[in-house]
Chain A
Amino acid sequence: MLDTHNLQLDQNGRLRHFLTIEGLNKALLTEILDTADSFAAVAERKVKKVPLCHGKIVVNLFFETSTRTRTTFELAAKRLSADVLNFNASTSATAKGETLLDTLRNLEAMHCDMFIVRHKDSGAAHFFARHAAPNVSILNAGDGRHAHPTQAMLDMLTIRRHKQDFSKLCVAIIGDLLHSRVARSQILALNTLGVEEIRTIAPRTLLPTQIESLGVKVYYNLQQGIKDVDVIIVLRLQKERMAYGLLPSEHEYFRLFGLTEDRLSQAKPDAIIMHPGPLNRGVELSSQVADSNRSVILQQVSNGIAVRMAIIAMALGNTKATS
């Protein structure tokens, strides 16, 4: 069995697929951020396009619904001049009983160059990468609870723009880490980039057992957890979590773990607040916090396009934004 490292990188150590942060080193993550920075200016241009991926076909293969991620991937690919095909799994052959492997084979037969995959099951992106033809790249747009590496990288870009040096940072992640692919990828990326400390803050029902093995400190108390932190990442709380007895109520959650102006005073004065969206105001954080000048939530969305352009371009082997 190919390990993740061999699956993602070619023999020269270049990105072939982008499935998870795991196995990628600091230099490669930094290269992604640098490349994304170089693409950021494209959005300011009158013609928001570079011809780097002209003639390439990129398929958005989403087996799970998404608005923001799919849209920003589509925009990113279009700004690189690629042709984009949106494959909606709910109306596709997969819904009619076709296997995932057959779906992949059929799309490959149309000579597509890249599949951007989102799927409800952990390991789905690895599955596609393992079975993909040699000239096809797989980008993971979220698989189950496992990984959402482009989201993590856009978060890293957002942090770097505000904080520059990762090595001095203390980052707190609040909320449902058990079910969060975003958090898993963020933790891997933050550790690879060498932050000083990562804290996770949630009731035990929303934390994976042995989460400490990922290199984080665990807090069950929000005030203690965000004391003197530089970055606060608030995770989305899905409504269905109440159904399985993981939480008593949204009200109780907000009372204990909701981020409010008052509690924010525990963090460093220049701490930034991030959220992968979509927001539940009054559940994960108050409206005042969401709309405050410390919130960088909308910058995350903009940075998502640049980061996804960088990763698509790197995986398709062409990254010079100046052309």
Chain B
Amino acid sequence: MKPTPRISIYDGHLIDPANGIDAPFDVHIQDGHIVALGTAPANFQPTLSISAANQIVCPGFIDLAARLREPGQEFKATIASETIAAAASGITTLCCLPDTQLAIDTPAVAKLIRQQAERTGKTRVLPVGSMIRGSNGESLSDMAALHEAGCLAVSNVAFPFKNTLIERHALEYAASFGLTCILQPIDYALQDHGCVHEGHIGARLGLPSIPETAETVALARDLLLAEAIGSKIHIHALSTAKGAILFGRSRYQNTALSADVAIHQLHLTEDHVDGFDSNCHVLPPLRNVADREALRQAIAKGHITAICSDHQPHEPDAKTNPFPVTEPGISGLETLLPLTLKLVHEGILDLSTAIERLTWGPACCLGLSLGRLEEGTIADVCIFDPNISWHVDKTKFLSRGQNTPFHGWDLKGQVNWTILEGYPTFQRHQNL
């Protein structure tokens, strides 16, 4: 067991949206917890002093959707490789969705993921259990056992419900134990074998297309079932304007509802697919400009309270094929913060709101007591320089996945320190 460091972070600008703090404050950490903001407690002797001059100090980021590929696809990435990349991106907590090749539909897989993550110790990994066991779509998983094995939430992303009745039963069963259900709204029949948005690019390039109704029809069904059952649901990866509006209306009546959006949906559109760029092959697909604007507005207004990386690392071969047969997904951990800050630079969000969407926002979606910094809370901290410019170079990614459409972009904002439960897990230019 490493000795617990006593850390003072001084001269930084603290932004803690949960407590409405946006001001210069020193932060003092001991025994893995925040012991004081501002003046250090009497007789506090730090073993590590970090100067955060001209930098932002904020809660460590919480990423609600990342694929770590383990167990089953270690040729793409491992829990070790991806949690190191997450730590370097200021992320202290990430949710591993259950669609690993060996799905998280049994407690053994959930435990395996937690153990591997704890062994590396770089990021807190929260496995999300599958609501369905096996691919037949009709057997409920042992959700209570998954919960006991550390799954704080369950989800439909690994195996779709065979029909609406099974979905109803799964939601009812999860609600019996107060489990949050992370639902990705997809009508698989409408999605068919589509790989791009049903719009002008799909029409021109002759790529099988996915209509917006593949999202909205499923979303309406999910929202209505959840309302009838009274279950706590979180909608994952909204991609359409209509979806955002539909969700916003329901949330007006039920503030317990929450949703996230993948960061790439806030910057890219179907037009980026032109030229058959397989790095822009994602599901749900990149939509049109109006959809992107509506999602940006929903994030700005707080209808959608979390931005996730939707990290999906791939080996190069997975993207080296004609567009429709490439595997969907973007390696997104290392661009999560700078792309969120780009929304600040473009005047969409203020800095505090941007940080809230990466910290307190996602924490509230799952009822986590993380994502805030006050005396007594767990010391998950990120220190970053919001103004430093850098050139995205996929070959320098720490993630095994170099599949990014942002390669070559110039972005602002770089993490200098990440602290997890009082331990530094990342320091720029240092190998921790």
Contact = CB atoms under 8 A, between A and B. Distances in A.
Q: Do A and B come from one complex?
A: yes
A121 B325 contact: yes
B10 interface: no
A212 to B, nearest CB: 9
A1 B199 contact: no
A269 interface: no
A123 B326 CA distance: 11
Interface in B169-225: 198-200, 202-209, 211
A277 to B, nearest CB: 19
A184 B324 contact: no
A126 B275 contact: yes
A220 to B, nearest CB: 17
B207 A123 contact: yes
Contact of B200 (A101, A127, A210): A210
A18 B295 CA distance: 39
Contact of A214 (B199, B204, B211, B322): B204
B322 A208 contact: no
Interface string B408-425: 000000000000000000
B323 interface: yes
Interface in B249-276: 274-276
A123 B324 contact: yes
Contacts of A4: 275
B277 interface: yes
B288 to A, nearest CB: 10
B45 interface: no
Contacts of B323: 121-123, 127
Contacts of B211: 209
A51 interface: no
A2 B322 contact: no
Interface string A1-42: 111100000000000000000100000000000000000000
Contact of A124 (B204, B320, B322): B322
B101 interface: no
Interface string A95-124: 000011100000000000000000101111
A209 B322 contact: no
A2 B275 CA distance: 7
B317 interface: yes
Contacts of B204: 22, 184, 213-214
Contacts of A145: 206-208
A131 B319 CA distance: 13
B395 interface: no
A3 B275 contact: yes
Contact of B206 (A131, A147, A210): A147
Interface in B1-56: none
A3 B325 CA distance: 20
B26 to A, nearest CB: 47
B321 interface: yes
A101 B320 contact: yes
A208 B275 contact: no
Contacts of A127: 276, 321-323
Nearest to B324: A121
A282 interface: no
B206 A146 contact: yes
A100 B203 contact: no
A287 B374 CA distance: 83
B203 to A, nearest CB: 4
Nearest to B199: A210
A79 interface: no
Interface size class of A (residues with CB under 8 A): 20 to 34
B320 A99 contact: yes
A122 B206 contact: yes
A3 B274 CA distance: 8
A126 B324 CA distance: 12
B276 A123 contact: yes
A209 B298 CA distance: 26
A210 B200 CA distance: 6
Nearest to B325: A121
A179 B235 CA distance: 33
Nearest to A146: B206
Interface in B266-325: 274-277, 317, 320-325
Contacts of A208: 198, 202-203, 209
By CB atoms of chain B within 10 A, which of A3, A119, A121, A184 has the most? A121
A4 B324 CA distance: 18
A185 to B, nearest CB: 9
B8 to A, nearest CB: 47
A269 B11 CA distance: 86
Contact of B203 (A2, A119, A209): A209
A143 B206 CA distance: 9
A3 B322 CA distance: 15
A123 B205 contact: yes
Contacts of B324: 121-123, 144
A145 B201 CA distance: 13
Contacts of A210: 198-200, 202-203
Given A119-B322, A126-B276, A213 B203 contact: yes
B35 to A, nearest CB: 51
Contacts of B198: 208-210
A288 to B, nearest CB: 33
Contacts of A124: 322
A93 interface: no
A133 interface: no
A121 B320 contact: no
Which 8 residue pairs across A and B have the least CB separation, nearest first? A145-B206, A146-B206, A123-B276, A121-B322, A213-B200, A124-B322, A123-B323, A208-B203
Interface of A: 1-4, 22, 99-101, 119, 121-124, 126-127, 131, 143-147, 181, 184, 208-211, 213-214
9 contacts: A3-B275, A122-B324, A127-B321, A127-B322, A144-B324, A184-B204, A208-B209, A211-B203, A213-B200
Given A123-B205, A123-B207, 16 more contacts: A1-B275, A3-B274, A3-B275, A99-B317, A101-B321, A122-B322, A126-B275, A126-B276, A126-B322, A143-B206, A144-B206, A145-B208, A184-B204, A209-B203, A210-B200, A211-B203
